[in-house]
Amino acid sequence: LPSSPPVTASIPSENLTISGGIAIFHLATARVVLCYHTRDRYFFLPKGRKNVHENILSAAEREGFEESGFRNRVLALSIEHGQTLPETGEGHGEDARFVTEPLWTQMLPLRAGSTRQYLLFWYAGETVPQDAEAQYQQQAENASQSSGKQIYRPPPPFPQDMTIRQRIGLDARLEEDGKKAVYEPVKHEGTGVDEEEMLYTAALVPINEAMRKLRGRLEADVVNRAWEGIQLRMRLE
């Protein structure tokens, strides 16, 4: 998909909405989460605006969970980008080959006729492993018992010393009859935060199917670039 030319724009805080979106992959089965709007009948990738004080990566993960029901975390990939490498502080010493920079960035009107600018960063992510899901379930139960409502908790980050192949291996399991199987990520229900999001459904689908259903839109290339980045990371590891 061709890139738009650079633009010059000045936008005050009251006219800017910053958002994060994410393509969530189940690495072990080469599937990606695809959302569907049951009223308006279209497919999409999860996205949404960040909270005050929230960093954009965390926002993408949270919105991915709220809109799809799949717990997820951002993946660092080998992609070209225009950012500098840290000499000290946060990020210093990490493997510079793999970064959590946006695959695509979109600038859109918030809605037709709106004066508000919608700035959207797209990332690659993965479903969390079984142990992280179990930990989340326990935390969620404890939180709901004390507060009476479901509270979102961010997932543990992808370990810096883990390869994609090692991560895929974590989803391998043996059934009671001794047959090999693959862990199926949990799809949580009722994670939408408003009436609109309650109209969404989501499922893990083959990558080619997702790209076909998203054809003609940027989200198809988000899936494509993310999956290519995952394959490249596996070759480099």
Domain-located, residue 141: no
Q: How many structural domains are present in the chain? A: 1
Nearest partner of 38 among 200, 198, 213, judged by Cα: 200
Report the C-alpha dihedral over residues 172, 188, 176, 132, rounded to 10 degrees.
Answer: 50
Cα angle vertex 205, ends 217, 17, to 5°? 45
CA distance 21 to 225: 14
Would the pLDDT of 148 be above 60? no
pLDDT band, residue 139 (cuts 50/70/90): confident
Domain-located, residue 206: yes
Domain that holds residue 206: 16-82+92-132+151-236
Domain-located, residue 146: no
pTM: 0.92
CATH number, position 183 = 3.90.79.10
Nearest partner of 125 among 75, 88, 164, 160, judged by Cα: 75
Q: Is 141 left (phi over 0), alpha (psi -120 to 50) or beta?
A: alpha
pLDDT in the model for residue 201 = 96
pLDDT in the model for residue 147 = 58
Domain-located, residue 118: yes
Domain-located, residue 227: yes
Nearest partner of 72 among 108, 109, 35, 117, judged by Cα: 35
pLDDT in the model for residue 189 = 92
Q: Which residues pair with 77 in a beta bridge?
A: 99
Domain-located, residue 5: no
Nearest partner of 107 among 95, 97, 93, 121, judged by Cα: 121
Residue 115, both tokens: 């004066």
Residue 127: is it exposed, middle or buried by C-beta count within 10 angstroms (0-12/13-18/19+)?
buried
CA distance 51 to 187: 24
Lowest mean pLDDT among 1-5, 156-160, 184-188: 1-5
CA distance 185 to 169: 14
pLDDT tens for each residue of 96-106: 889 999 999 99
Would the pLDDT of 24 be above 70? yes
CA distance 195 to 197: 6
Q: What percent of the chain has pLDDT over 90?
A: 78
Would the pLDDT of 90 be above 60? yes
Query: Is 150 or 76 the better-scoring residue by pLDDT?
Result: 76
Residue 230: is it exposed, middle or buried by C-beta count within 10 angstroms (0-12/13-18/19+)?
buried
Domain-located, residue 100: yes
DSSP three-state, residue 227: helix
Would the pLDDT of 190 be above 60? yes
CA distance 72 to 155: 7
